Amino acid sequence: MAGRPVWLRTGFRPIAEPPLSPAATGAALVGALTLVVGCVLVGGSEEHEVMATAAPAEAAFDTSELTNWYQSTQGLRASIATTVAAVRGYLEAQDGAGLQPRCTQLAAETKAANRLPAGPDPQANGMFTGGIERYAAAAQTCAHLFDGTQVPLPELQSQLRTALADGDTSWESLSLHTGLPLAQAGSSTVTSAGSGGGTRAAGGAPATLR
């Protein structure tokens, strides 16, 4: 028996640990509950934040407002569409006498369109103003056909066609975005001034662009 640890000797009884007091037991229980509740609250908060981040942003405007705004621009959009169609027709006919006043008209219409109230949807409004800007650029390029700008005639005509096409693209995108139809061009009669070979019509515009 000698040499054996005390706790292995026969008859040795370990001293029992005193039981925890009710106050200590209660404190431990409260601590455990606090930890569990804290974890639940933190986890719930994080989950809520993740869901809020993942949720799509709600539209900041009423779709009926977008519809009303788009329809309110119908008259001017139709007028511009009619003028653009006329510009294209006179350009293809190489009729300078008919083209110049249409380009002047297009410039005036784009200025009027810029004074319209902004739309309720920033994206739709950007498409609308984008179209106006391109049509205004077309009108300015067209004016250069008659003001002596030192740019080759074919290059100016190409720029004019491109600007008109870009304006169409912006307003086609606007139509798709709103789910509403494009404004249609009204009737416009385009007549060729013939092959006057550089003769000039009233106002100094060349009868032909060739």
Kindly list the structural domains of the chain, giving each domain's residue range(s) and its CATH number in brackets, ordered by start. 66-181 (1.20.120)
Positions of the chain with pLDDT under 50: 7-8, 15, 36-37, 40-41, 47-48, 50-58, 193-204
Give the pLDDT of residue 147. 93
- pLDDT of the residue at 98: 97
Q: Give backbone dihedrals phi and psi of 206, rounded to 5 degrees, phi first.
A: -65, 140
DSSP per residue, 82-146:
HHHHHHHHHHHTT-HHHHHHHHHHHHHHHHHHHTSPPPSSHHHHHHHHHHHHHHHHHHHHHHTTT
Model confidence pTM above 0.75: no
Provide the pLDDT for residue 59.
Answer: 52
CB 193 within 8 A of CB 95: yes
Residues in the chain: 210
Name 168's Cβ contacts closer than 8 Å, sequence gap at least 6: 84, 131
Confidence at residue 71, expressed as pLDDT on a 0 to 100 scale: 97
Question: What confidence score (pLDDT) does residue 55 get?
Answer: 39
**Residue 53: its pLDDT value, please?**
45
Beta bridge mates, 206: 200
